[in-house]
Every structure is written in structure tokens, then in C-alpha cells.
């Protein structure tokens, strides 16, 4: 999870069973290039080269293939703010993997846009590529994903699909994901992305806004470990509590340090306010864990996924937006409404936000670009 050095190389491993044949690397396409973590004077260019693949055939079923990659990253430094750069990734044999552009962040306060998707995990669904197609037209300055990027973060098949769908978008647009329960804290997640901080939870500034990405409590411990004894389960629960408390301390310190930001936007997977009946109790428990931290530090808006439908709540002056439906069809809204509910809808959505000096405008759109909901956020009372 350590922050990447200026030049990085890691093996991106994936596991398969019932191995029959190891296929030559030349049969695989490479992943990327794509740009990550763009600042005023820096950017990280990433790509992954094939290192072979494994074909397997379960008895009586269709054969499958799982690829293996070596991940690379290069940190570009001493760049000029607000300038568009063209970059080219050339492989050791002289072949050009790809050429694209990115634009560094201007200095000081400036207008900009960002988009939010979530729950992109399901193979074969049409919502994810349709959302990316719309973003390629809108050209946001940044894209956030509220988690569950793939169905199983340990399975390379899902990552191949993710990067195939997002290839054109990520070549030019920095992509900031949050961990979801399906991502499983996989090594592949940390290998493919070059993010600030420890990469599991992190923050950064752009213009007058402060952005915070959290790792929801629970996903790593619930999805990765199945304790075999009550004693093991107790140890896992204690480890989860320590992890979340460490993150919560970091969050309070981070928000306190961002007191001069006009806007604060927070992203993580599990929604604190849910109108999915089977998850309402868990959301209430999450609110207890979080306490009043978002209200105490005047957070502008919190964005979540997980429920696969749209819901917006307003509590303590903070907007809570659940818009994670990019992985397929929308689930019904079968619980609530809550006292805090402003609007809910069983519809596939993504979020488009514009940040200006006098206000931030957030629009929730369906895949045809029709507005499902919208709201504005005024600048915080900066002390």
C-alpha cells in the first residue's frame, strides 16, 4: 500500500484452477497507458505489460483464460500548472504502447468538474460502458468510483474487463477509486492504481475544494476472511475496529487541516443512509460508528454506492448521495423513506458536478443524460 516511487514495477498476479496450458504473453494485449494522481506539477503514468496467461477447462464447461501482468508506473515531476502534456509509452522493444494527453491542475482557485460512478463490477452489463461513453462526451476533469470496481478484486478477468471499458477515458482523465466489498483489498487493486497517501484512504486538494476517499469499515475483514472459530472471529472483529478507528482519527485530522477549503467532498462505498430494506440496520450502525464527524467539520457532500439505486438524504447540513448503479440494472427501493430522505429512485445513474467560486452544482443523470435530481452546495464558512 505504500506510495509508489518514481519508477515502479510489480507483478499483477491472478489465480486459476484446473490449469491446462500456459499461453505465450504475445497473445495478450497490454493494459494502458493511463494517467493517475494528477497535480499542479506532477502526474503518474501507468501501464501493464503481459507476462503470460493461464487457460483452464472445468469439466463439462466452457474453457477460460486468466491473464498475468507486470504493472509499471512513472512519476512525472516539475511540470507546469494548468498545462496540457502529451505523453507516449514506449516498450523496451521500441513498440509504442500508446500516446495520449493529460492536463495538470491550475494553481489557485479555478472552476472544474468531476464525475462519479460506482458499482461497475458486473461483467456483460451495458450500464458501465454506456456511462463511460457519456463521460467521454462530457470530459470531466476527474472521475471518482465509489467502490466495487470489479466482481472479485482477486480475479484478473474482471480487471481486464474494467480496463478495456475505461481505456480511452483513463488515458486522459485521472481516476480516483474507493475500495468496495467486492474489491476485497486485493493486491491487484493496489498494483493497478497509483493514488495519494496509503492508497486505501487518502485525500487531496483541487482549487477551493478538498477531496477525501475512505475505505468503508467491514469490506476487507468480511469478504477476505472467514474465521473458523469464535476466537478467530473475535480477533478479526478487533482488527477491524482498530483499522477503522485509525482511519477515523486520520479523517478528523485531515478535515481539521482542510479548514480553509470552500468545499469538502467525501467518497466511500457503504452509504450511511440506506433505503434498501435489508441494509437499513447496517447503515444505522455505520452512522453510529461515524458519529457526527461530517457535520462537525462542515462536509459539503458525501457520495456512496453499494445499494444500486439512487437515494439522497440531507442530515446536519450534509448532502448524502447514493448513486451506485453503473454495474447493471437498478435495484428496487424497498425500504424507507427515512426522515432525512430528499429523493429516491430505482434508476441507473451517474453524477456530474461543477465546482465554481460561488457554488458547486451537482446533477444526477440517467444514461440518456436526463436529470434525475440536482442540488447546489454553497461555500463553507471558512474561518
Domains and CATH numbers, the chain: 1-106 (2.60.40), 108-377 (3.60.21.10)
* Average confidence (pLDDT) per 10 residues, the chain, 383 residues: 41 42 54 98 97 84 86 98 98 95 97 96 87 96 96 93 96 97 92 96 98 78 59 80 91 97 97 93 91 96 95 97 83 93 95 97 95 97 72
What pLDDT, on the 0 to 100 scale, is given for residue 345? 95
| pLDDT score at 341 | 97
Cell numbers representing residue 128 in the block:
458501465
Distance CA 75, CA 237 (A): 38
CB neighbour list of residue 45: distance below 8 Å, 6 or more residues apart:
33, 34, 35, 36, 73, 74, 76, 87, 89
Mode of pairing for the β-strands spanning 310-315 and 301-304:
unpaired
Eight-class DSSP state of 366 = -
Q: In the beta sheet, which residues pair with residue 212?
A: 203, 266
> How many CA atoms within 13 Å lie on the side-chain side of 282?
15
Rounded to whole angstroms, the Cα distance separating 200 from 178 reads 7
Q: Nearest 5°: CA angle at 84, between 79 and 87?
A: 80
| Ramachandran category for residue 275: left, alpha or beta (phi over 0 → left; psi -120 to 50 → alpha) | alpha
Using left for φ > 0, alpha for ψ between -120 and 50, and beta otherwise, residue 186 falls in: beta
- Number of helical H runs and strand E runs in the chain: 7, 20
Return the pLDDT at 18: 33
Measure the CA–CA gap between 112 and 207, rounded to whole angstroms: 8
The Cα 352–Cα 139 span in angstroms is 10
| Cα 111 off chain centre by | 22
Distance between CA atoms of residues 123 and 126, nearest Å: 9
Q: What is the pLDDT of residue 30?
A: 94
- Residue-level pLDDT at 218: 56
CA distances from 298 to 37, 42, 238 (A): 25, 30, 30
Specify the DSSP element, H or E, that contains 169: helix 156-172
**307 Cβ neighbours under 8 A, 6+ residues apart:** 271, 274, 275, 276, 279, 322, 324, 331
pTM of the entire predicted model: 0.91
- What is the pairing mode between strands 209-213 and 202-206? antiparallel
DSSP letter string, 85-148: EEEEEE-TTS-EEEEEEEEPPPSSS--EEEEEE-----TT-SHHHHHHHHHHHH--SEEEE-S-
142-145 and 175-177 beta bridge pairing: parallel
Q: Identify the pLDDT of residue 235.
A: 80
Amino acid at each position: 500500500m505504500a506510495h509508489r516511487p518514481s519508477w515502479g514495477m510489480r507483478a499483477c498476479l491472478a489465480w486459476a484452477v484446473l490449469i491446462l496450458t500456459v499461453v505465450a504473453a504475445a497473445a495478450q494485449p497490454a493494459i494502458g497507458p493511463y494517467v493517475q494522481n494528477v497535480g499542479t506539477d506532477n502526474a503518474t503514468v501507468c501501464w501493464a505489460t503481459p507476462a503470460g496467461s493461464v487457460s483452464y477447462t472445468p469439466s463439462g464447461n466452457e474453457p477460460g483464460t486468466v491473464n498475468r501482468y507486470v504493472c509499471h508506473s512513472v512519476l512525472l515531476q516539475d511540470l507546469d500548472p494548468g498545462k496540457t502534456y502529451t505523453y507516449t509509452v514506449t516498450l523496451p522493444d521500441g513498440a509504442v504502447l500508446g500516446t495520449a494527453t493529460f492536463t495538470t491542475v491550475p494553481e489557485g482557485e479555478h472552476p472544474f468538474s468531476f464525475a462519479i460512478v460506482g458499482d461497475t463490477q458486473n461483467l456483460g452489463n451495458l450500464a458501465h460502458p454506456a456511462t463511460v461513453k457519456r463521460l467521454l462526451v462530457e470530459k470531466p476533469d476527474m472521475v471518482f468510483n465509489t467502490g466495487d470496481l470489479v466482481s472479485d478484486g482477486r480475479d484478473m478477468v474482471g480487471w481486464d474487463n474494467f480496463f478495456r471499458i475505461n481505456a480511452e477515458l483513463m488515458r486522459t482523465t485521472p481516476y480516483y477509486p474507493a475500495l468496495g466489498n467486492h474489491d476485497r483489498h486485493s493486491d491487484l487493486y493496489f498494483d493497478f492504481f497509483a493514488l495519494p497517501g496509503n492508497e486505501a484512504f487518502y485525500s487531496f486538494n483541487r482549487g477551493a475544494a478538498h477531496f477525501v476517499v475512505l475505505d468503508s469499515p467491514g469490506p476487507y475483514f468480511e469478504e477476505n476472511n472467514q474465521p473458523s472459530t469464535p476466537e478467530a472471529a473475535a480477533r478479526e472483529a478487533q482488527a477491524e475496529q482498530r483499522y477503522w478507528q485509525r482511519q477515523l482519527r486520520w479523517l478528523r485530522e485531515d478535515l481539521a487541516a482542510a479548514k480553509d477549503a470552500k468545499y469538502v467532498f467525501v467518497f466511500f462505498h457503504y452509504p450511511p443512509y440506506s433505503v434498501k430494506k435489508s441494509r437499513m440496520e447496517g447503515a444505522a450502525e455505520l452512522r453510529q460508528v461515524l458519529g457526527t464527524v461530517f457535520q462537525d467539520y462542515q462536509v459539503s457532500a458525501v457520495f456512496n454506492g453499494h445499494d444500486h439505486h439512487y437515494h439522497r438524504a440531507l442530515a446536519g447540513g450534509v448532502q448524502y448521495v447514493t448513486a451506485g448503479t453503473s454495474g447493471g440494472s437498478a435495484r428496487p427501493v424497498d425500504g424507507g423513506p427515512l426522515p432525512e430522505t430528499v429523493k429516491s429512485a430505482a434508476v441507473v445513474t451517474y453524477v456530474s458536478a461543477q465546482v465554481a467560486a460561488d457554488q458547486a452544482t451537482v446533477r444526477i443523470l440517467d444514461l440518456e443524460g436526463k436529470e434525475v435530481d440536482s442540488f447546489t452546495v454553497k461555500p463553507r464558512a471558512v474561518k
